[in-house]
Structure 1
Amino acid sequence: MKKLVLLMLTAFAISACSSGIEKESSTTYFVTKLGNDTLAIERINYGNNSISADVLLRSPSISLTSYQLAWNENNQLISMRAEDVTDLGGFGKGTGTITQEIAENGDSLAITATFRGNEITYNLANDQKLLPFIDMVHWPFDIALQRAHVSKSDSTHQYLISGRRASDFIIHNTAGNDFTLRHPSRGVMLVKTNDKGQLTWLDAKNTTRKLIVERTNTLNFDELVAHYVVHDKENSPFGTLSPAQEGEFSFKGSDFKVTYGSPLKRGRDIYGGIVSYGNRWRTGANRATHFSTSKPIQINGSTVPAGEYTLFTIPEEDGGTLIINKQTGQNGQSYDESRDLMRVPMSRKSQDDVTESFTIEIVETEKGGQLQLIWDTTIYYVDFTF
């Protein structure tokens, strides 16, 4: 480990001017919001072919991490170090715990990381001008976009280290300073840059994250860090973005169970907003929404045999479609239409109260039961009988 640190310090002394990324004259910041809630703040300083960044991330619990990264004149990664300073309560208060180190090792990168309390070491080929992928952290995207700006290509491939592999993030110039950035599995982000190619605004509404990132040159960063450290200790922390929920219901001699990820409204427009009309929705978050019944039920004249299924929906302003699929165990982005059991119409009604967390309930009715999808002031529902 000491050898890796020495290599990194040596790498940071390397200075070159052909990387295409200009040295910043002042500190810059990113603020990441999920609806009305601040999810993360980042403080970034660029050097010559190097960057240092301090990041406060509030999900699932608050964490403070300092990063240092350097690359050579060919944009190949030389070194990176991630240092967890959460227990210190702020940045610049001492030495924290090294959670990841990357160092050049011939034509490969030697990577040492702490995962679930265990230290793991592996090598990765250093042939793709790599950057790290850090979930919900955006300074690596800023570097990637500046490189895309310098290349002047309509599309560029930026490979980011994700675990033991390099994942391809495709950057496409749509018009002027506007770009799209495609995550390999989560979807496409909309990006605006300035005339230097620096990220100024990112909208992830078309991905599973649904967050907004904005750049600012002024931010009371250390004061905000101190505020959130105290706030998230004394009050409810930000928590998991879409915590797993489970509901069990019994009536008329049958047992029902639903398991799903429950995103929060957080001040956002839901249907017609982050959940678009006319498109298939995973009906929750993360793992596919699962539904089981211990007795056969009838929906719209068709039989759903006893068993477990996954639920998807296509919301519309006047109702929409409930999809009952026979595949189970998959992530909510995995959908095989050939395994549909049936598609049935949904009805829609409004409620006076606002439901902050997406909720699924199965309620008893006079003739049978009703599957309800409740979020914000909207309830989508499907009636069934036995």
Structure 2
Amino acid sequence: MCSLPFLTPSPMPLKTRLLAILFLFITPDLRAQEKHKDTGYLIFTLGKDTTLIGHYQVNGDDFDMTVLVRLTSEVHKLKGTLFPTGECKSVEGYAYKTVPGTDSVLLQTYSLVTRSDSTFTEQRIGGNVSRFGYAGKGMLHLGIYPYVFFTPLMALRAPGKSGDSLRSAHFVYGTKYPFTLKRINKSTVAAGSPVMGMFTIYLDKKGKPNYIDAIGSSLNVKGRILSYLNLDSLIRSEAIRAQQYGVMPPLNKPDSVQATIGTTGIHIAYSRPSRRGRVIFGEVVPWNRFWRTGANAATKIRLSGPIFFADKELPAGEYSIFTIPSKNGWTLMFNKEANIWGTQYNPAHDVLRVPMQVEQVKEPVDLMTIEVVPVNGGGVIRVLWENTKASVAFTTRK
């Protein structure tokens, strides 16, 4: 049996031995504090558009951040405390808009607190107050843009062993979703939920976040972390720009298409993302994985009667639409969960899958388009974007 050094008789003075014992207990805490200490300026881009700019700082379990939302010219400021697992213990924040020559305009306040293993959130917008309670603790509360700025903080608390995961919750306005924080390897961490999608965080040699890939997530963005930006100057510049030209136009346009084929009415509601100079298929829309076939909420089709794809029937009703694009052809899926967010796809709820034919078009399509057109006594559903057209024929009678 080996003796602990500080219990073995030693000629060193008692005071020195007591300091040595204290150092042994304090050192692990100092190492943990250093591991969970980081600061950076984070820029998120959507194609050629810069959408979010901000600063985050974490020191042990305490954090604060400032986020400029260029789409709305809002600024969010929040601070809070994390549990050692990375889950939120308490958060306080507010959003405001800077108007040159006048005082800032307060837009909303929000808070989160965990008590006795239950989490409570509150959001105030003007005179309207929304409160929700959830059982357990969570990593995120969606409903504010800064939720994506939590990803660097989470990466610092990912499990150390490749393949290991932490399981928690993601709170979204009254609904609780599973959240996963997973160590992929020494330099890569993944974080996300069904409603958020997955974010991949890449780490530098010191284990600090330096790049975020969220292509395929709800925001479909990429993020770079810099050591310094003059954020105050950017906020002022954005306020002047918004005053002169107004807020940025929406990045996605809500739209719908409807047609009557035979006696069957067909209505498709979707959100149309724009290309904005990006490479779409294979990058913005990855190959061989599900795509919401639009933006924001899942694309939804409503049928007044059944339609048929060869010998396969899709009964009358409402369905969400998803696709799996590949280089050699697409798969079109109709899912019985009609009213869901676009990243919440569950293949177990598919009611029908059919192949789509793919061809290239000469003139690029900037705004993603869905068409339903009558053809040869039946119809064709088409998806067009960039230089790609995916099509599938159907009939209204077997």
TM over 0.5: yes
Counterpart-to-counterpart distance in 2, 1:371 and 1:297: 12
TM-score by length of 2: 0.73
Q: 1:101 aligns with which of 111, 121, 139?
A: 111
State the partner residue of 2:22.
none
Q: 1:222 aligns with which of 217, 224, 232?
A: 232
Counterpart-to-counterpart distance in 2, 1:263 and 1:79: 35
Of the structure 1 ranges 155-164 and 196-205, higher mean CA displacement relative to structure 2 is found in 155-164
Within a 5 Å distance, the mapping from 1:244-259 to structure 2 comes to 244-250=254-260, 255-259=265-269
* 1:279 and 2:289 correspond: yes
Question: Are the counterparts in 1 of residues 98 and 105 from structure 2 also a CA contact under 8 Å?
Answer: no
Q: 1:265-318: per-residue Cα shift (whole Å, max 9, x none)?
A: 233322222323333433223433333455655543555565544433332323
Distance 1:102 1:85, change over 3 A: same
Q: 1:38 aligns with which of 43, 46, 50?
A: 50
Q: Which runs of 5+ in 2 are unaligned?
A: 1-28
Q: Which amino acid in the other structure matches residue 166 of structure 2?
A: H
State the partner residue of 1:57.
69
Question: Are the counterparts in 2 of residues 256 and 291 from structure 1 also a CA contact under 8 Å?
Answer: yes
Counterpart-to-counterpart distance in 2, 1:336 and 1:171: 22
Shift of 1:373: 0.6
Identity %, equivalent residues: 23
* 1:314 and 2:324 correspond: yes
Within a 5 Å distance, the mapping from 1:1-386 to structure 2 comes to 19-21=32-34, 28-46=40-58, 49-59=61-71, 61-70=72-81, 79-88=90-99, 96=106, 99-102=109-112, 111-114=121-124, 117-120=127-130, 134-135=144-145, 137-148=147-158, 152-154=160-162, 155-157=164-166, 159=168, 162=171, 163=173, 169-232=179-242, 234-235=244-245, 237-238=247-248, 242-250=252-260, 255-294=265-304, 297-300=307-310, 308-325=318-335, 328-332=338-342, 333-335=344-346, 340-341=351-352, 343-365=353-375, 367-385=377-395
Larger Rg over CA atoms: 2
TM-score by length of 1: 0.75
Shift of 1:189: 2.2
Shift of 1:213: 1.2
Count of residues paired in the alignment: 364
Distance 1:210 1:109, change over 3 A: closer
Q: Which runs of 5+ in 1 are unaligned?
A: 1-15
CA RMSD, aligned part only? 4.1
Counterpart-to-counterpart distance in 2, 1:172 and 1:209: 20
